Every structure is written in C-alpha cells, then in structure tokens.
Amino acid sequence: AIAPSDRAMLCQSVNVVFHSAATVKFDEKLKLSVAINMLGTQRLVEMCRRMTKLEALIHVSTAYCNCDRSKVEEKIYASALEPGQVITVVDSLDENLVDTLTPKLVGNRPNTYTFTKALAEYWLKENKGDLPLVIVRPSIVISTINGPLKGWVDNWNGPTGIIAAAGKGLFRTMLCDANKKADLIPVDMVINLMITAAWKIGTQKSKEITVYNCCTGLRRPITWNRFIKLCFVYMRKHPFSEIKWYPDGTVTSSVLRNNVYRIFLQWLPAYIMDAMRWLIGSKPIMVRIQDKLCKAARCLEFFTTQEWEFDDSNVNALSRVLNEHDKKEFCFDVAQIMWEDYLENYVLGIRRFIFKEEAESLPSARKQVSKLYWIYRITQILCVMSIWHFLTLRYAPLRRLWSNALRLLVHIARMLSIVK
C-alpha cells in the first residue's frame, strides 16, 4: 500500500499517469485477474481524481480484449456483463466456485486476461468523468526495435518463451495456421505511442476517450510461417549455448498431427533424456520442462490459429501531427519495421537478455550447432531406414516393390558401366 504522505505527494505533483500494471498470465485465476486488472484500475482512477495537476491518464489495454470479433475498431465495445456485477460475484465467492464459473463468465474469450481487460475498458468508459483518459491497445509485444538497446527483452511472455525453447532444441511443434498474420509489435514503439498519446491529450483536451490500436497487421504484416522460419534462420546463425538438440521444428493446423509430433518429437525425447539423467545420478527435469512448454503453447493456440483486423486510423492520425524530429525521436511507425533485421536482433536479444549469454560464447555455440546438425541429419536418415525396414518386413507388397527397385537400380548401373 502507498503511505499517506506518499499518496499526498503524488496527488499534488503528478502530471501524467501511465497505467500498465496488470497480470498478463493467460491462464491466471479469475479471482486474481479481477483483483489486479479491474480493481487495480478502479483504485488508480480514484487516486487520479484527486490529482490536482493531472494532464493525461494513459491506460494500457490489449488489442485482443475484443478477440471475440474478427474486426476490432478503435472504440470501446459494450459488455454483456456489468463490470461491477462481475467484481461483486467474484469477490463474494470462494476461489473453487469462481473457477467453476469461469468458463461461463468468460464466454467466447479464450482466457481471463482478455476478459478482464475488456471489462476494465468498459468500466473506464462508464466511470471516466472528466479525466483526460486515453487507451492504448498493443497486440503481441516482443523486443525493442531501436532503444534503449536493440533486441532488449526481459520476459518469457508470448512467443518469446516458445522461441527461446525452440532455440535450445526443446520445442519442435506448434498448433498454428502458418498463413495467418502474426501481429507482433516492438515494445519501444508501444512506449513511444504512449508518450505521444499523453502529449496529445495533455495539449488538446477532449471529453471523448481516444483508443489507439498499436498493431502491425494492416501496414506491416508478417505471417506466422515467415516469423518462425526467420527465427530458426537466426537461431542457427547465432545459436544459444548448451543447446540440447539441433534447432528445428514445424507448425501444423491439424490438432491430431500436432499431438503426434508432440509425442514423438518432444515427450519421448524428454523421457529418454530424464532416464539418462537418472542413470548418472542427476535430477530429471526434462519432462517437467516439456509440461510447462506444452501449457504455454496451449495458451497461445487461440492466437496462432486465427487472425484479426485491427483498425489503426487513430494511430496514423496521431503520427501525422508530429514534426519530422518527433517522428524520429518517438517513432511508432510500424511501416518502418524491416522484419529480417528486427528478428535477427530479437534472437540476439533472447540470447543476451534472457539467457545472459555474451557474444564471446558464439564461436563455441556455432561449433556445437554444427556438430548437432550432422547428428540430427544422420538420426533422421536412420529413423527413415528403420521404419522402411520394418514396413518391408511386415508387408509383402512393399518388400516386392523394394526388391524390384533394387534390381532396377543394379540393372541401370550395369548398363551405365557398359556404355562407358
């Protein structure tokens, strides 16, 4: 809690408030998600009302708070449930009962995060009063594109954790429509938009709530297929240290195929590696890691198998009122993103800021990934040969086909030797 003296100081001196505090865990318990994302917003608004010098209140939401719609405009949508009623119900019931009611309350939304963020927006609309309020809705936030350091990232949220695990060779399949757009946004562009939005509302007062969809899907789209392929290219060029297997993987829109791949490419190797660790006296950890990775992947599947059209007219209009110096200093123009360069720095950022690996370790990491490449290819060839051998032993038609093919190859080889 904030001390009374600190609260008084804030109310007397603060000009701009950026409200980005939230629980961003997709599978968070509804009770905690309501407490942080909704009640936290209410308490902040109560404090803002007492701030005598307040010029701007910037509330950070998410572009996916209205993911039950295929097209999302820059406006606040009405809620089927009253935020106050949801708070009352969730607050009055014990956690187990709230967990039971969660699917019914959340409805068409995939998780408690998007649900509570949407309710928080609607509550702000109904209770804004005369506060100078702006809402910024970023899509999937990943590393910086420019500053303070290129590629800076400090959390495992969203695709970052999956890419990090794939780079270590631990994650190899994902349920995903490869041709859908991956609406990714650099975190520093979101920050620049927030600062510019605060300047705009602070200098040009408006009674209306301006909403900014901070997204790349309309003006600088990239598909999941291209995103994943580029990440693998750069994870092989700048490999992580102490990787467990060669970085490779696949995406599929088939649930059955994804489950089969997951069993043979992730779970089976994890059990084998844990058995080996147990035999040498080490603690088995790979199955536990796989369990966490699969849970994280399931949380993302709703977003990797669909796509949305996020209108960003207000963002474009805001950019047009800036002079050239400010456009460069506070850049949020997604049209300037060069995905190849950006994603290379993203991978380097994961290496440096997530795994804490210095550039000096790159030469040895490249040697390791080169060795694993040949082991990986030999393993693939041996697996194919083993499967084919099993099939030819079991099925007579295949055995005859294989024998005929071999005889044909021998005959061709003899003919070539005669020609010579």
- pTM recorded for the entire structure: 0.91
pLDDT over 60 at 351, yes or no: yes
pLDDT tens per residue across span 299-313: 999 999 999 999 999
CA atoms of 186 and 144, how far apart (whole Å):
5
223-242 pLDDT, tens digit each: 999 999 999 999 999 999 99
- Residue 161, pLDDT > 90, answer yes
Q: Please name the amino acid found at residue 295.
A: K
76-95 confidence digits (pLDDT tens)? 999 989 999 999 999 999 99
Whether residue 175 is predicted with pLDDT greater than 80 in this model: the reply is yes
Please give the structure tokens belonging to residue 269.
Answer: 């190797």
**Mean pLDDT over the full length of the chain:** 94
Place of tokens 């195929």: 257
Average pLDDT over residues 330-339: 97
Tokens linked to 115:
């649900």
Confidence band (pLDDT; 50, 70, 90) for 113? very high
Residue with the larger pLDDT of the pair 388 and 323: 323
Residue 418 has pLDDT above 80, yes or no: no
Cα(75)–Cα(312) distance, integer angstroms: 11
Structural domain boundaries of the chain?
A: 358-406
The better pLDDT of the pair 101, 399 is held by 101
Contacts of 127 by beta carbon, 8 Å cutoff, 6+ apart: 42, 45
* pLDDT band per the 50, 70, 90 thresholds, residue 59: very high
> 42 with 121: CB under 8 angstroms?
no
Output the six-digit token pair for 44: 């902040």
| Model pLDDT, residue 419 | 60
pLDDT for residue 420 is more than 70: no
Gap between the Cα atoms of 179 and 253, Å rounded: 10
For residue 7, how many other CB atoms are within 10 A of its CB? 13
Question: Average pLDDT of 332-339?
Answer: 97
pLDDT confidence tier of residue 416, bands split at 50, 70 and 90: confident
Q: DSSP of 140-193, one letter per residue?
A: EEE--SSSSSTT-----TTHHHHHHHHHTT---EEE--TTSB--EEEHHHHHHH
